[in-house]
């Protein structure tokens, strides 16, 4: 054939493929979500094979191992004891609570590691919602935002580097920025869950933390999976309100949203490969139907290719290890 243009020339050897590679994955792109609980025991999480609800000691150990592999950051998810869950979620701003103690332990052992905290009420709320619930079952926006500010300040006092509001209340980024600045926490960053969809992919996570809503669903605050333009509106608000980083969640089924926000905003974009995405790969690999390591790397590469700078992933440690080995 007379073909002057043969794209296969750029694929002819491993060396050339390496030279023309458009997307690179590095341990520095990963943020490691970690679960933890009160007490000295760690518990395996049935719905998320390979994940553990750590004691604080074991949390520090696991974070240290990830850090040694080049993973720069962790994001913390507590399992709060049932007796501390109340309708006003007041435990969320207790300076002696599980999260502030974990932050202090991490910052003491690993001062260089970036500690990110989740700002939302679901672990603390007897109703299992990210916000306060009224008598008639509505999720209260403005009242919730006030409590979120107390929660973020509590995390900042304990030494958190970044707070990550995952609640999807309107106006929370501006309110958090104001509250942090008023208490001289100008250096604490906000990673906003900008486009967080009402997704069934969160199922295993809610099982891991017993944090599923007691009644109803999260559709009055999390976004409708059908909508993309609305994500751009959320991004413009978060940017104007002072977010330092934007996030899309879930990641794999929302690559178009990642790409769209990448175009729409100059801010760094994070994407959350959530529990259901992790579990689907794990489950298929457990029967030998998929090659776990290859699919793990391909899924992460695709999220980067779509435009994410950072990926929150339960594979952070495993993928960093793989990248180290080459
Ligand atoms: C709650 C929160 C959720 C996740 C992170 N923060 C669950 C939810 O919104 O119901 C999900 C993470 C995952 O599925 O891996 N604020």
Report pLDDT for 207: 83
Nearest-atom number in ligand 1 for the CA of 120 is: 16
Per annotation, catalytic residue among 85, 218, 249, 282: 249
Mean pLDDT of 279-307: 97
Mutate to test the pocket of ligand 1, among 80, 120, 127, 270 (most ligand atoms within 8 A of CB): 120
Clarify whether 322 is annotated catalytic. Answer: no
Mean pLDDT of 236-262: 98
Q: Percentage of the chain surpassing pLDDT 70? A: 100
Please report, for residues 48, 246, 286, 304, the alpha-carbon distance to residue 107 in angstroms, rounded to integers and kept in the order given: 27, 24, 36, 28
Give the pLDDT confidence of 109-119 residue by residue, as tens digits: 999 999 999 99
Report pLDDT for 80: 96
Mean pLDDT of 304-311: 98
> Is it the case that residue 174 has pLDDT exceeding 80?
yes
CA dihedral 254, 177, 167, 281 (to 10 degrees): 40
Mutate to test the pocket of ligand 1, among 130, 220, 280 (most ligand atoms within 8 A of CB): 130
| Residues 96/104, Cβ–Cβ less than 8 Å | no
| Residues 299/30, Cβ–Cβ less than 8 Å | no
Comparing 139-153, 156-170, 207-221, 311-325, which segment has the lowest mean pLDDT? 207-221
Domain that holds residue 176: 23-325
Report pLDDT for 324: 93
Please indicate, yes or no, if residue 1 is contained in any of the structural domains.
no
Comparing 51-60, 67-76, 203-212, 292-301, which segment has the lowest mean pLDDT? 203-212
Mean pLDDT of 80-93: 96
Please indicate, yes or no, if residue 15 is contained in any of the structural domains.
no
Please report, for residues 106, 190, 231, 276, 316, the alpha-carbon distance to residue 254 in angstroms, rounded to integers and kept in the order given: 32, 22, 11, 13, 19
Please indicate, yes or no, if residue 12 is contained in any of the structural domains.
no
Nearest-atom number in ligand 1 for the CA of 211 is: 10
* Number of compact structural domains in the chain: 1
Nearest-atom number in ligand 1 for the CA of 274 is: 15
For residue 210, what pLDDT band results from cuts at 50, 70 and 90?
A: confident
pTM above 0.85, yes or no: yes
Mean pLDDT of 92-115: 98
Please indicate, yes or no, if residue 169 is contained in any of the structural domains.
yes
Instruction: Give residue 171 CA to ligand 1 midpoint distance, Å.
Output: 20
Per annotation, catalytic residue among 196, 218, 282, 317: 196
Mean pLDDT of 276-296: 97
Q: Kindly report the average pLDDT of the chain as a whole number.
A: 97
Looking at the chain, list the stretches that DSSP marks H as alpha helix, in order from N- to C-terminal side.
14-19, 56-68, 98-109, 141-158, 172-182, 203-209, 229-241, 255-264, 275-286, 292-306, 316-325
Clarify whether 249 is annotated catalytic. Answer: yes
Instruction: Give residue 206 CA to ligand 1 midpoint distance, Å.
Output: 7
Please indicate, yes or no, if residue 231 is contained in any of the structural domains.
yes
Please indicate, yes or no, if residue 162 is contained in any of the structural domains.
yes
For residue 138, what pLDDT band results from cuts at 50, 70 and 90?
A: very high
Report pLDDT for 212: 85
For residue 47, what pLDDT band results from cuts at 50, 70 and 90?
A: confident
Pocket lined around ligand 1, Cβ cut-off 6 Å: 118, 120, 122, 130, 166, 202, 205-206, 218, 274-275
Report pLDDT for 88: 96
Instruction: Give residue 326 CA to ligand 1 midpoint distance, Å.
Output: 32
Is 73 strand, coil or helix? strand
Measured from the Cβ of residue 143, the count of other Cβ atoms closer than 10 Å reads 13
Ligand 1: residue whose CA is nearest its atom 11 = 202
Report pLDDT for 93: 98
Please indicate, yes or no, if residue 180 is contained in any of the structural domains.
yes
Instruction: Give residue 202 CA to ligand 1 midpoint distance, Å.
Output: 6
Instruction: Give residue 314 CA to ligand 1 midpoint distance, Å.
Output: 13
Please indicate, yes or no, if residue 13 is contained in any of the structural domains.
no
For residue 268, what pLDDT band results from cuts at 50, 70 and 90?
A: very high
Residues 6 or more apart from 55 whose CB is under 8 A from it?
A: 36, 37, 39, 40, 41, 42
Report pLDDT for 214: 85
Task: Indicate which CATH number applies to the domain containing 199.
Answer: 3.20.20.70
Mean pLDDT of 156-184: 98
């Amino acid at each position: 054939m007379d073909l002057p243009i043969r794209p296969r020339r750029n694929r002819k050897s491993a060396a050339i493929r390496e030279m023309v590679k458009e997307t690179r994955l590095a341990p520095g792109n990963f943020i490691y979500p970690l679960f933890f609980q009160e007490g000295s025991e760690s518990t395996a999480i049935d719905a998320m094979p390979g994940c553990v609800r750590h004691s604080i000691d074991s949390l520090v150990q696991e974070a240290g191992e990830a850090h040694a592999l080049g993973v720069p950051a962790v994001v913390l998810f507590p399992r709060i004891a049932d007796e501390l869950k109340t309708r006003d979620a007041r435990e969320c701003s207790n300076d002696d609570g599980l999260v502030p103690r974990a932050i202090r332990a991490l910052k003491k052992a690993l001062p260089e590691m970036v500690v990110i905290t989740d700002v939302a009420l679901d672990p603390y709320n007897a109703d299992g919602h990210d916000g306060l619930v009224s008598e008639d079952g509505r999720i209260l926006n403005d009242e919730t935002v006030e409590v979120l500010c107390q929660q973020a300040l509590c995390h900042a006092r304990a030494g958190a580097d970044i707070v990550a509001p995952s609640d999807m209340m309107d106006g929370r980024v501006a309110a958090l920025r104001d509250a942090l600045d008023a208490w001289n926490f100008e250096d604490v960053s906000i990673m906003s869950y900008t486009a967080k969809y009402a997704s069934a992919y969160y199922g295993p996570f809610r099982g891991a933390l017993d944090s599923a809503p007691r009644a109803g669903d999260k559709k009055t605050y999390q976004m409708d999976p059908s909508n993309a333009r609305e994500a751009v509106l959320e991004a413009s608000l978060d940017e104007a309100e002072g977010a330092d980083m934007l996030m899309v969640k879930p990641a794999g089924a929302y690559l178009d949203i990642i790409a769209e926000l990448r175009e729409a905003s100059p801010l760094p974009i994070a994407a959350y490969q959530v529990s259901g995405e992790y579990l689907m790969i794990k489950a298929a690999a457990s029967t030998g139907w998929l090659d776990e390591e290859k699919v793990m790397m391909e899924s992460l590469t695709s999220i980067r290719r779509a435009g994410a700078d950072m990926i929150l992933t339960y594979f952070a440690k495993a993928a960093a290890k793989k990248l180290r080995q080459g």
